[in-house]
Chains A and B, each alone.
Chain A
Amino acid sequence: MNRKKHLASHIVYSEWRKICKTPIQLVLVIIVPFVLMLFLFWGLHSVRTSTSSYNGKIYCQTEEQRAYVTSLTERYPSFNCEVGDIEIAKSDVHHGNPDIALVIGDNDITGIYDSNLLSSSKAMQETADLGKELSFFLEGEEVHARYLASQPETKMVNLSTDEEMLDNVLDQVVGVVGMILFLSMASNAMTMSGHSITGEKERQTFDTLVLCPTPLHTVLFGKVFVIGTQIFLAGFMGCLGTIAGLYLWARSDFRLIARSIDGNAMWLLVLLGLMLSISMLITGIFAIIASAFPETKKTALFGSLGMIVVSFASMIPSFTHTSILKYIPITNFSLLMKDTCKNQIQVAPVLGSIGIAILVSILCVILSRRLWERSHE
Chain B
Amino acid sequence: MITIEHLKKTFRKNKVEAVKDVNLTIEDGEIYALLGPNGAGKTTTMRMISTLLTPTSGKIEYDHVPLEKDEENIRRRIAFLTNEIRLDGQFTPNELADYYGHLYEMSREQIVARRDQLFEYFGIKDFGNRRYETFSTGMKQKTSIAICLLHDPDTIIFDEPTNGLDILTQHLIEEYLVKLRSEGKCIILSTHILDLARRLADKVGIVVDGRSVFEGPMSELASSQNVETVEEAFLKLYKDNHEEQTIIGKNNK
Contact = CB atoms under 8 A, between A and B. Distances in A.
Interface of A: 3, 7, 10-11, 14, 17-18, 21-22, 200, 203-205, 207-215, 374, 376-377
A376 B76 CA distance: 20
B105 A376 contact: no
A11 B73 CA distance: 20
Q: 5 closest Cβ contacts across the A-B interface?
A: A212-B103, A21-B90, A213-B75, A213-B76, A204-B86
Given A17-B95, A213-B73, A7 B88 contact: no
B148 A208 contact: yes
A208 B90 CA distance: 15
B80 interface: yes
Given A7-B103, A377-B12, A208 B85 contact: yes
A42 B160 CA distance: 60
B104 A212 contact: yes
B87 to A, nearest CB: 6
Interface of B: 11-13, 50-54, 72-73, 75-76, 78, 80, 84-91, 95, 99-100, 102-105, 147-148
Contacts of A7: 102-103, 105
B86 A203 contact: yes
Contact of B75 (A10, A21, A203, A212): A212
Nearest to A204: B86
A40 B252 CA distance: 62
Contacts of B84: 204
Q: Which of B11, B51, B147 has the most CB of A within 10 A?
A: B51
A3 B53 contact: no
Contacts of A213: 72-73, 75-76, 103-105
Contact of B88 (A18, A214, A215, A374): A18
A211 B80 contact: yes
A212 B51 CA distance: 10
Contacts of B50: 211
19 contacts: A7-B102, A7-B105, A17-B95, A200-B88, A203-B86, A203-B89, A205-B88, A208-B148, A209-B103, A210-B52, A211-B50, A212-B103, A212-B104, A213-B73, A213-B76, A213-B104, A376-B53, A377-B11, A377-B54
Contacts of B13: 377
Contacts of B103: 7, 10-11, 209, 212-214
B87 A208 contact: yes
B90 A18 contact: yes
A17 B89 CA distance: 13
Nearest to B54: A377
Contacts of B75: 211-213
Contacts of B102: 7, 10
A211 to B, nearest CB: 5
Contacts of A376: 52-54
A14 B53 contact: no
Contacts of A11: 103
Given A203-B89, A209-B103, A210-B52, 12 more contacts: A7-B102, A7-B105, A10-B102, A18-B88, A203-B86, A207-B52, A211-B50, A211-B75, A213-B76, A214-B103, A374-B12, A377-B54
Q: Which of B13, B80, B84, B102 has the most CB of A within 10 A?
A: B102
A134 B102 CA distance: 83
Nearest to B103: A212
Contacts of A208: 85-87, 100, 147-148
B85 A207 contact: yes
A207 B43 CA distance: 14
Contacts of B12: 374, 377
A204 B52 CA distance: 12
Nearest to A3: B105
A208 B51 CA distance: 11
Contacts of B73: 213
Contacts of A10: 99, 102-103
A323 B7 CA distance: 58
A281 B80 CA distance: 34
